[in-house]
Structure 1
Amino acid sequence: MHALAKKIRTSNAGPVLIILLVSLGCTLPQLFNHSLILGVDSIFHLNRFYEAAMQLQHHDLSYFQSNYAFQQSGRIVTALYGPYLTYLIGGLLLALGSWLKLELVLVFLIETIAGLGMFMLARRVRANRFWSLMAGLVYMLAGWVPTWITTQEFMAWGAALMPWVLIFGIKMVQDHEHPVHVLGLALTMAALMQTHTLSSVLVTLALIPLAVLGFVQAKRRWKMVGNLLLSVLIALALTANVWGALLEVYGGNLVMAPYMPLNSGTFTSKLSFGSYGRGTLGGSLGIVCTVIVLAQVISIFLRKQRDALEITLTATGTAFMIAASSFVPWNRLVDKWNQIGSYLQFPSRFATVGMILLLAAFALNMTKFATSQPAKVKLGGRNWATFAQLGMLMGVMLLAFQTYTDAERSAEAWNKPQVLQSGASITLSADDMTEVRDSFMSKNLGSGLQMVAKGTPDYLPVPRESWRWFQDNSQYRLYHDQLVALTTAKTAEPGQIGKKIDKIAYKLYNQLLDEASPYALYYYQITSANKRFTKKVLKGGTLQVTWHAKKKGVTQVPVVIYKHTHVVLNGKVQKHSNFERSDIGAIITAHRKGTNVLTIHYEPARSTIWLLRFAPIAWLLTILAACGEAILRWRRHVREIAN
């Protein structure tokens, strides 16, 4: 082990190779079991990728309206959730032609991106290669990133990209002459926003203390401010499609927010000396991360020599860890401001950023320790620095063992009767689970998604008259405000002593909670109703719905419409005033006897169209500028060597 540590310290290729090998190792549980992992969030994200893949395959882009996936409901998802990455993965799915191959490649990519990013961040703070590698391995194995493997939490992709953005935050502090790398900061932040918007918000909060410290130390402060603003403007240009779509959809519609946990306080992070928990869903940090956090925080108080960067990283990281914990009264905050619960969802997400900062500070701290006098004290023939390295290697192996075991357990579920890790809000249209398993492994990429439907109601358009009802009768509000009746002399069972929860009342209460769930509404109005209609995708991103009626009447059609959805019924253009909408935005319209044909097509505002066209042009120009800058630096470096 000592020889390995020495080799790592003196080679650039070694750490990269090790990270690649560990990333490859993370794919082995699925490779050996030849299994898909269908976690809690899998069906939602597979629908996103399938929608993008089919649009690319048919050369018929529909940036807003979903025509192939999500029960062909016409709902908007891609435009609001990692649009560019969704299309990249959709293209990858087409090229690979298999869900299993896609999952294997994505596991390898996300682990590599996260590991290399954390390694480069630690190197940026001037940690040595060994401790930078340890930071990279801990981060890629410690729960936040592996949740993509086990449950397909998409914030794992945001977590993988966060270190790359923070590298440029560190530069603000270290480089007093040129603190802001305009293109680097803009490109990494834009890539993160194109992947996971919430992650970009969290990283921005982490960048603020670094920017303030950099401003204080900068030699030309106002030039730094100007470059920072320029970077922000470029990032806005690169993400014009993201914020343009948000303004388009939220500006003209009342949109269903993502799932809000009934008890946010339970989804927090805590220190522990056992196994780590499920990433952003909260739970224990695990023994390795707990030791790192405690060691770094304690050492910053005990050491006399510490620089401003390490203090800032430790203080900011600790603040994020506290925000992720139960020290914050999250239940009270969410009860007062429901939007926090809907869009943050899990307070433990703060721990992702906190751990990145603390890992970077810890790697820097241990690098300094390795060259300090106490580290050179011999103990059993070895110095303290060597024992620290051996201990860290053991910690990484513990993390690797748990991550591999968790991935293997998730992969094994595929070959067991349940196949799916979770049946929550799932509708199956197969005779048995073998049929489901075979459909996901077939060349027909859509067959599995047709058999396994999950009515996730995110971003559905809610009519104004239903909006207040959802606010007052949401599952969260009912859960926290309603009282469950206790038994009385009339309702108590014979022989029952004292008051207990009335079983009948409790059963009715749970039924009320279920009926108030948008998941249930989506099932009845979209998933279940689809079997009575025929849907077909036409050219130009138009979705056609056909049904037969025995007599004239009114029909609720299983497609949803937004403010800018263009509707044609039986050849006649319809105004939105010509029909009603259900509480989740499904069309309720009059129909004629016989065959009825309805088409919907989303037509964004002209300003939004210009923003969608501008974003890829901005990417092309910015990448060309970055390449030109890199070439100039390389030529300058060559000239310096020649002289």
Structure 2
Amino acid sequence: MKNIITKVKSPMFISIGIIFISSVVLQIVQIQNKNLYLGIDWIFHYNRFYDAAQQIREGNLQYFVSMYGFSQSGRIVNALYGPLFAYFNGLLILLFGSWLRYQLVSNFLITFLSSLSMFALLVKSKVRPSISILLSLLYSTLYTVQAWSFNQHFTAWGAVIIPIGIFAATKFLEDGNDNERKNMLMLSFVVTLSIQIHVLTTLFLVIILSVFFIIGIIISRNRVKLFGWVVKAALLTTFMTANVWYPLLETNIENNLLSPWLNLDMDGTALKLTLFNFPGYITLVVLALFFLQFILIMFVKNNLLIRLSTILSFILFILSTKLFSWNEILNRFPSIAIIQLPSRFLLPAIVLILFSLGLTIETMLTEEKSNKIQQVTLYVSLIFLTFFGFLLHHKTADKQANIWTSDDVYSRNSNTISTTENSNQLRESFRKENSMDTPLEMILKPTSDYVPLKNEHLAKSKDLHPYYEYREAIFNNPLNPKITKSVQNRKLNLEWTLEETEEVLLPVFVYQRTELVLNGEKLEQNDFEVNNIGVLKVHAKEGENILTMSYKNSILFYYMNQFHNYYPLKTLDGAIVVNGTKKEPPHMLQFVCLLGQ
């Protein structure tokens, strides 16, 4: 009992408790109003997670195609967009049973975990807990973290990952570090986690890791050893992420997938300065962090780690703003359009500036002869910025809550479709008494990412309007009122009745490995057609028709999944075979194996 009391009184335990309470406080507006925040991307991600939840609920596990979400259209999304994290969110949906509860929990998780991640980075880097906790709380209030809560921007989950990644990156600079295996596992873990959650976040993480690695190679006295454990980490990561990169590779080779939205006006989506309003802009709090670090580094003794982190943070900050001429670079290198939004550079910039600021303050308080006035000024400044961050957060929370109670209900754009304009009905559709797919059927958005184009030339055609074709073929399909859909034995069934024999456009997508059975007869490639975006056309008979759709996983995918599940474990001290006895893999790995079958 005495040991327990001692642990409870420890600074670490108290700090984690403060982070927990703070994370709850940041959700207080939503808790009180019982409103949902429905931003630009909620339709896309909630369809993904609902599909995963229903697969688990009904036992119809299908790794590739969506048979429940996305209007039961059989399109591939989750397999290419963080599959395991989608199933994690699906589990949360099943556990909490309503969209409001799920959103409260997921918003709390990203707030708590991002703050905890930043706190761990700072404390592990020997920044005192009092400074670490203030910077961590401030971090959790910023829009770069809360973009998931308010607008369901998936890149915000990088706020949990990038601090861990930076801590792994600092190991490149530790010459003579004997913890080779530990460093390898940490580096592999953070990159694997990033790939499993959001592939684009990995791009920014790799940029940071590469800069630290290059500097580490230059200053290291044992370059071969450093290079060796980094290569081992890369190989381990490759095995651990085979369930992500192999489906992405296979489906792109076998199909003419339509790329996600490419931003051809990146200058227009770069950030600009504003004092109080966000989301989407650099606030006074963010600017103050960069200004404070700029001032401190001029007068405080600093080391290579502080200088490198500060310089890199300022470079990434500039890349996120209109100060950088993105469109000129885009004209020369069109492939950078995959970044989509320059504002995404702000998240790693903020993590780095908070990290370097924490290190600089610790240096000042420890090594420099700072007087009491300077120390008090620093603490008051951090407390003020944190408090101001909370105020800005609650201001935005109130603003988003007002959208929920307005006639709009959710953040709309030109591509969003509502089956009713009655705002009360839209709000009622999210109540726990209704099926969780009710709002997904009432509010629609034709996102055409990864749909299979009829031929490769359409990808560059100016005559292709994928959003329009998606809307007409899937949402406004005249056959929709006549079709009944069901899922059995990992197969999607469509049933409908016709008064005469005719060619019909069915609201399902067909990929190279999609298998179709119409009225008991398997359809070969020459037995059907598809429209420009891969939606199925068949000749249906008079009377009752039944189409069964399934997806045949490749044998190579199955073995790659086995490799992903077992090989990394066998390389880590015999996790599969222990003392000559074969052990079963963890339940999550069994789950992934089942998905791959």
Aligned length: 565
SS at match of 1:590: strand
The Cα of 1:533 is off from its aligned counterpart by 4.2
2:494 alignment partner, one of 545, 551, 554? 545
Give runs of aligned pairs for residues 166-565 of structure 1, distance below 5 A. Answer: 166-174=166-174, 176-178=176-178, 180=180, 181-261=183-263, 263-270=265-272, 272=273, 274-275=275-276, 277-278=278-279, 282-283=280-281, 285-300=282-297, 302-303=298-299, 305-341=301-337, 343-371=338-366, 373=368, 375-376=370-371, 382-430=372-420, 432-443=422-433, 444-464=435-455, 467-473=456-462, 517-529=465-477, 531-565=480-514
Larger Cα-atom Rg: 1
Confirm or deny: 8 A CA contact 1:143 1:276 kept in the other structure.
no
Confirm or deny: 8 A CA contact 2:242 2:564 kept in the other structure.
yes
The Cα of 1:172 is off from its aligned counterpart by 2.5
TM-score norm. by structure 2 comes to 0.89
Match of 2:89 in 1: 89
Confirm or deny: 8 A CA contact 2:300 2:363 kept in the other structure.
no
TM-score norm. by structure 1 comes to 0.83
The Cα of 1:553 is off from its aligned counterpart by 2.2
* Structure 1 residue runs without a partner (length 5+): 1-8, 377-381, 475-515, 629-643
1: CA distance, partners of 2:335 / 2:537: 29
Spell out, residue by residue over 1:486-527, the C-alpha distance to the aligned partner (whole angstroms, 9 max, x if none): xxxxxxxxxxxxxxxxxxxxxxxxxxxxxx642222110101
Give runs of aligned pairs for residues 559-578 of structure 1, distance below 5 A. Answer: 559-578=508-527
Confirm or deny: 8 A CA contact 1:542 1:601 kept in the other structure.
yes
The Cα of 1:625 is off from its aligned counterpart by 7.7
The Cα of 1:537 is off from its aligned counterpart by 3.3
Cα separation, partners in 2 of 1:307 and 1:319, compared to 1, 3 Å: same
2: CA distance, partners of 1:139 / 1:622: 37
Confirm or deny: 8 A CA contact 1:535 1:543 kept in the other structure.
no
SS at match of 1:269: coil
The Cα of 1:373 is off from its aligned counterpart by 4.9
Amino acid at match of 1:260: L
1:606 alignment partner, one of 542, 551, 555? 555
**CA RMSD in angstroms, aligned pairs only:** 2.5
2: CA distance, partners of 1:472 / 1:329: 27
Confirm or deny: 8 A CA contact 1:173 1:179 kept in the other structure.
no
SS at match of 1:119: helix
Cα separation, partners in 2 of 1:276 and 1:311, compared to 1, 3 Å: farther
SS at match of 2:340: coil
Match of 1:53 in 2: 53
Confirm or deny: 8 A CA contact 2:192 2:237 kept in the other structure.
yes
The Cα of 1:275 is off from its aligned counterpart by 2.4
SS at match of 2:515: strand
Cα separation, partners in 2 of 1:627 and 1:394, compared to 1, 3 Å: farther
Cα separation, partners in 2 of 1:620 and 1:86, compared to 1, 3 Å: farther
1: CA distance, partners of 2:571 / 2:426: 45
* Structure 2 residue runs without a partner (length 5+): 1-8, 578-597
The Cα of 1:322 is off from its aligned counterpart by 2.3
Confirm or deny: 8 A CA contact 2:175 2:222 kept in the other structure.
no
Amino acid at match of 1:94: L
2: CA distance, partners of 1:47 / 1:615: 27
1: CA distance, partners of 2:575 / 2:222: 23
2: CA distance, partners of 1:115 / 1:627: 35
Cα separation, partners in 2 of 1:205 and 1:597, compared to 1, 3 Å: same
Which deviates further from its counterpart, 567-576 or 290-299? 290-299
Amino acid at match of 2:380: L
Spell out, residue by residue over 1:66-116, the C-alpha distance to the aligned partner (whole angstroms, 9 max, x if none): 000101110000101111111011011111111111111111110111101
Amino acid at match of 1:11: P
In percent, how many aligned pairs have the same letter?
27
The Cα of 1:626 is off from its aligned counterpart by 9.8
1: CA distance, partners of 2:114 / 2:68: 32
SS at match of 2:370: helix
Match of 1:631 in 2: none
Confirm or deny: 8 A CA contact 1:172 1:211 kept in the other structure.
yes
